[in-house]
Every structure is written in structure tokens, then in C-alpha cells.
Structure 1
Amino acid sequence: MDHGARPAVMITGGCGFIGSHLARSLAGQGFPVTVVDRERWPDDLVDSVRIDVTDFDDCVKVVSTVDPGIIFHLAASSTIDSAFRDPRGSLADNIGGTMNMLEAARTSCTDLRRFVLASTDKVYGELTGDAYVETSALEARGAYDVGKLSADNLVRLYGYEFGLPVTTIRLCNVFGPGDPNTGSRIVPRTLDRLFAPAGARPPVIYEDSLGHGRDYVYVSDVVRALETIAFETAARGEVFNMAPAAHRTTLELVEEMIDLAWRACAPSDWDRANAIRANGYEVVGGAGSPSVLRRQHCAAPKLAALGFRNRVSLSDGLQRTIGSFLRDRGIGGRTFARPEGGRLPS
């Protein structure tokens, strides 16, 4: 995509999982990128400013200094578990942080071209039909879900009432290399146990989530979608569902990861491969949150109308993520290579 002159880009939450992938992509395309986060960016690829977006004065200061043309607002309390444990802190991040950044952008940007919010499909609440579309009722109930819905509504308010050039994308379950949430999110949590340094351990599935249906999408496709709606003129003022790569129940996803992890390890680490297959998975009691949704699925016709298509299938994305775990933990050496004869042992 030709973006013309490269405007300054600000990414709140840019040290996080999705934010770091987005920052590296935009910097690689020649954009001047400033990451705004509670953490410090680890190298000199981008400019880095440490603030807490719940501090309005700091938000105004950094926006005034950088004067970005594009703001990607990804800073948030990012998991259901953390919101359930600390609802006040989560709501302060997701609602207060969004309000602060919107107001800072409204009052301090001289040529803001787009304010992009990363929202979630959880704003829709429990799925009762075939799929959510962007006009589906918003019936969020949990602490995380309501905080994100409130942020979603604040962005709509600033677009309608104050003319801010806003766009929102409602993401499904994003996975890929570099996700640190090994205690909560199903993909890194499962792989963390399969590739534990001391040897493979059985992945844990909560009993009440075995049949939960979710959409999954690889992180590079999310980055492409964020970039698309940030620079596409027709996306201004609109809300988009993220297009999923695939829909799976929790059990189906874990079984697929176990199979792919076994195949990845078999050529060079037969002991771990055998353990992965022999261990299977462990079913334990419920997660303890009363707000977990049983079924979610998005349709994304509006993204498709912009010409967007996912490039990474679920299987390919899981293979890439497994390869990253293997490299990071020094396990094996030939991800998804096959032994002589072209067949893996059965």
C-alpha cells in the first residue's frame, strides 16, 4: 500500500504483543514511530516514551511533543483474567486511558489523520445467531468486556460530536510469536507447557471452556488490518470486525496444537515429541470468572469491502508460533522438517 508522505505515528501500548508487531512493521516501511507505554522499547528502532495513559497531563504532553498524524490506541488492560482480578484498574486503563488519549488528540494534534482504536469482539456479548456483524447489538457484561465497550463508545462519541477522524476495529483472539500472556491466553499458555524447559507438560483446559467457540487470527494479519483502516479514506468514522482465520472450540484448538507440536519436535527431539503425544491434555475445574462467553464468531464484510483478506491460515500461524517457541527455548533445530522418506512416525 502506498501511504504517500509518511506521517508521524504514535502507538500506545506499543511494547505489548500486537503493538510491538505493529511498531516494527511501520518502522520497517519508513514511518517515524513513537511507542508510548509503561515499559521502555528495547532498542533504537523507534522512539520510546514511558507514560501511563491514565495520567491526562502526560498524555497531553506526549501528544503535543510528537504531534502524530496517526494514533493507534492499543494501551489497555489486555486480558479477561486481569480485569476480573482488578476491575477498578482495568476500567481505569480501558476507559480513562482511552478518554485521555482522545482528548489529548482533540486538543493537541495539528493534523491528525486517524485515531484507530483496537477494540474486541467481546463487546457483543454472547452470540445468539450465526455471527456478529458490525451492527449487532452490543451486550457486554464482564469487567473486561464493558471496559472495552465503553472505550468503543468514547471513540464513536469523539468522532460524531467533535469530528475526530476515528476508526475502530473489533479484534477476535490474536495469536503469534511474542505473546507474553502464558498464564491466560490459550495459545501461549498451551505452548508454554508443551515446550517447558524441563520437559513437556500436559496443557491445561478448564472444564467449563472445553466447548467454547472462538475465532482466531494470526498477528501479522491483524497488523495489516490496522494499517489498512488507518490509511484508507473510506474507513474514517467506521467500525470493522476483524476477519478470523478460523473458528475452533477450545478442545479442537488444543488438540491441533498438540499434533503440530509433536510434528515439530519429532525430527530432532524424539523424547519430547513422545512426551507431547503421551501427555495429552489435562482438564481442570473452571477458571472462576462469571463472565466468560460460550460462543463468539465474527463476520467481516466491511474489511472485505476494503479489499482485505487474511494471508495466514490457522495451521500456518500455529506452525510459525511453534517455530518461534522452539527457537526462543533452544529446542530442536528443524521446525516441521520431515525425516528421510518424507513421513513422520505414526
Structure 2
Amino acid sequence: MQRTDSARVALITGGRGFIGTHLAVGLARQGFHVVAADRIAWLDDRVESARLDVTSYAECLDLVRAVQPHVVFHLAAFSTVDAAFSDPHASLATNVGGTMNMLEAARSVRGLGRFVLASTDKVYGELVGDAYVETSRLDARGVYDVGKMAADNLVRLYSEEFGLPVAILRLCNVFGPGDPNTASRIVPRTLSRIFDAAGPLPPVIYEGSMAHGRDYVYVTDVVRALTTVAFDPRACGEGFNMVPAAHRTTLDLVAEMIDQSGKACELHDRDWADAIRKNGYEVVPGTGLPSALERQHCDARKLGALGFSTQVTMTEGLRRTIGSFLRRRLVGRRTR
């Protein structure tokens, strides 16, 4: 690819992840020269691929110096609570050490416009009151949550101590097509069972998590929010809660996906649609991981003050996501 105006160069760590791929394509469509850095190579001629292990400071420094980005989107992380719990050392080395490496490397860039961290609402810990605000105490628990809280603190440290131009976006639960985390995240996990190739299986819900409340947002709105905090001068040095599309309990969300999936299947396979409804969902003992939070909800008026609002409703986002699972099943059925 021909490198053009340096002000249009964006480096994305974790560029092959769920959010990273959507962000990379979105920025490329806007005319940015996008470098997607990950342990896995990128296979899209719109995006330049670079291999990177963020736990290696030498690799981070070499890449940043070679790319000379105007903006760094730091998304590289152990991206699920389950994965972090299963390998706490590797998770913390990536989520904490990797952030520190990229921050230090970013200091070597002349004219860096913004270092954007994709953080999480889990940094706040258990919700006390009606909603988290950006000034709420960071009180994370659990391997994933604490690692992201440490990264959040490091970014603010580099802003306040070293004058690095940063912005932090604390995401809620992100969903949409292409999320590979079917073993852990509630939306792809539920839909992977409903659209299992061998026939619909009932979604599984932990008994103790049925009333857990979470904010949800569609992935393309996350891309828009990341670019907003990356390029709006008012966002420099600030942290923002993500504007959610909706708030749902686990039970209500699973019930909504069952209902929408059944309706989506009606025109293509009535038997499948009937089986989805008949299966319902399966409740199993437990609450998931011991550090699972019961309630999470963000006050996102600060991001709204920048003129940001979501464009995709919860219903529409689920329709698009269910459609992607349905299309995959229909294509698989035709190729068998």
C-alpha cells in the first residue's frame, strides 16, 4: 500500500479481533491508511497487516517507529472474562504489560494525535446506585476486570505524567456479526446453539445469573464511538462511558434472541423455527465465574455531550446478528 498523509495513518493493536476487524474496515472506508497489528495476519487488501505480540516491548517499539501513526487504537487484550480466568498470568501480561509497552512505544512518535484505549465498564466493579459515571471509583474484581482497570490507570498516568494525548472508552457488552467468542459471550454463545449445524440446541443460562443486568451495544456504534474519542479535540485526556443501545437482564436477552431467531427462521425452515421455540432455554446451577458482577449500567451523557448517539437499536442489532448466523447455516446446508 502507498503511504499518504501521516495524519491519516491509524494503528490498531488487536486488529484481527472482533471489534478490531470492524474498526479496521470502517477506518479504511473513510480513507485512512490502516495498519492492523495482531499475532494473526490480516487478509484484506484494504488494510495493511503487521504481526505483533504486545507483551514484547521491542516489537511494540519497532512497529510504532516504522508506522509513525497519527492515532493508536489499543484493542489488543485477553478479550473475555473466561479466557482471563483460565490463564491469569498470560491475561495480565497482555492486558497490563501490553498496554504499558504500547504507551511507552507511543511516546516515541512525533505528532501523535491520540492513543485510544478500549477499556470496559467492569473497571467500576459492582454497581452501587443507579449508574456508573466517569468519576465513579474504579473498584474492579476478577482477573479480567482488574487487568483492564490497571490498563485504564496506566493510560491516565501517561497522560498526566508525560503529556501523552490519550482517550479512554469504557465499553459495555458489545455484540454483532463475526464475534468468535461462542464459548463465553452471551449473544454468540446463545446463537451458536440455536443455529447449531446438527439442529437447534437450547441456550444455556446459569441459574444465578438470570437476573444479572448488563448494557449492550452493537459493534458498528462502538466503531463510531472509538473514532469520535480519537479525533474530537474535546476528548483528549478524557475517559468516556459507552452509550448503550439497551439494558437487559440475561434472561430477558436470551428470551429475546429465541423469539427473534424463531421469527427469522419462519420463511426458510418452519421446522427449525418450531424447534427453537420448543427448546426454550436450559437453566444450569451456578453463577458462572466467582467474580461475576450482578449489575452494570453506565451513565453516558459525557460521550453524548460530544454529539454521539447510537444508530443501531437493540432489536435491529440482534436482527443483523441473527441474520449472519442464519445465512451461515443456510450456506452450510446448501454445500452439504
Structure 1 stretches of at least 4 aligned residues deviating more than 3 Å after TM superposition: none
CA contact (8 A) 2:194 2:276 kept: yes
1:93 aligns with 2:94: yes
CA contact (8 A) 1:176 1:318 kept: yes
Distance 1:5 1:68, change over 3 A: closer
| CA deviation map 1:98-120 (0-9, x unaligned) | 000000001x2111000000000
CA separation in 1, counterparts of 2:6 and 2:85?
A: 43
Identity %: 66
Q: What residue in structure 1 maps to residue 50 of structure 2? A: 49
Q: What residue in structure 1 maps to residue 109 of structure 2? A: 109
CA contact (8 A) 1:14 1:20 kept: yes
Q: What residue in structure 1 maps to residue 148 of structure 2? A: 148
Distance 1:332 1:40, change over 3 A: closer
| CA deviation map 1:142-194 (0-9, x unaligned) | 11000000000000000000000000000000000000000000000000000
CA contact (8 A) 1:212 1:294 kept: yes
- Secondary structure class of the residue paired with 1:323: helix
Q: What residue in structure 1 maps to residue 82 of structure 2? A: 81
Q: What residue in structure 1 maps to residue 8 of structure 2? A: 7
CA separation in 1, counterparts of 2:45 and 2:291?
A: 41
Q: What residue in structure 2 maps to residue 32 of structure 1? A: 33
**Equivalent residue letter for 2:62:** K
Q: What residue in structure 1 maps to residue 302 of structure 2? A: 302
Where do residues 201-216 of structure 1 align in structure 2 (5 Å cutoff)?
201-216=201-216
CA separation in 2, counterparts of 1:6 and 1:244?
A: 30
1:287 Cα deviation (Å)?
Answer: 5.1
1:269 aligns with 2:278: no
Q: What residue in structure 2 maps to residue 329 of structure 1? A: 329
CA separation in 1, counterparts of 2:207 and 2:140?
A: 23
1:88 Cα deviation (Å)?
Answer: 0.7
Q: What residue in structure 2 maps to residue 313 of structure 1? A: 313
**Equivalent residue letter for 1:127:** L
CA separation in 2, counterparts of 1:160 and 1:275?
A: 56
1:185 aligns with 2:182: no
Q: What residue in structure 2 maps to residue 283 of structure 1? A: 283
CA separation in 2, counterparts of 1:28 and 1:43?
A: 12
- Secondary structure class of the residue paired with 1:127: coil
**Equivalent residue letter for 2:238:** E
CA separation in 1, counterparts of 2:8 and 2:99?
A: 22
CA contact (8 A) 1:140 1:146 kept: yes
CA contact (8 A) 2:190 2:204 kept: yes
Greater displacement, 108-117 / 148-157: 108-117
CA separation in 1, counterparts of 2:106 and 2:271?
A: 55
CA separation in 2, counterparts of 1:241 and 1:332?
A: 39
Q: What residue in structure 2 maps to residue 16 of structure 1? A: 17
Distance 1:114 1:201, change over 3 A: same
CA contact (8 A) 2:170 2:240 kept: yes
- Secondary structure class of the residue paired with 1:205: strand
CA separation in 2, counterparts of 1:241 and 1:82?
A: 24
1:45 Cα deviation (Å)?
Answer: 1.6
Calculate the aligned-residue CA RMSD, in Å. Answer: 1.4
- Secondary structure class of the residue paired with 1:217: strand
- Secondary structure class of the residue paired with 1:193: helix
| CA deviation map 1:203-230 (0-9, x unaligned) | 0111111010000000000000001110
Residue segments in structure 2 that go unaligned for 5+ positions in a row: none
Residue segments in structure 1 that go unaligned for 5+ positions in a row: 334-346
CA contact (8 A) 1:268 1:332 kept: no
Distance 1:81 1:126, change over 3 A: same
1:43 Cα deviation (Å)?
Answer: 2.1
CA separation in 2, counterparts of 1:287 and 1:87?
A: 20
CA contact (8 A) 1:326 1:332 kept: no
Q: What residue in structure 2 maps to residue 118 of structure 1? A: 118
CA separation in 1, counterparts of 2:207 and 2:53?
A: 37
1:6 Cα deviation (Å)?
Answer: 4.6
CA contact (8 A) 2:156 2:166 kept: yes
**Equivalent residue letter for 2:66:** T
| CA deviation map 1:54-80 (0-9, x unaligned) | 000000000000000000000001000
CA separation in 1, counterparts of 2:143 and 2:6?
A: 40
CA separation in 2, counterparts of 1:13 and 1:243?
A: 22
Q: What residue in structure 2 maps to residue 59 of structure 1? A: 60
TM-score normalised to structure 2 length: 0.96
- Secondary structure class of the residue paired with 2:217: strand
TM-score normalised to structure 1 length: 0.93
1:12 Cα deviation (Å)?
Answer: 0.2
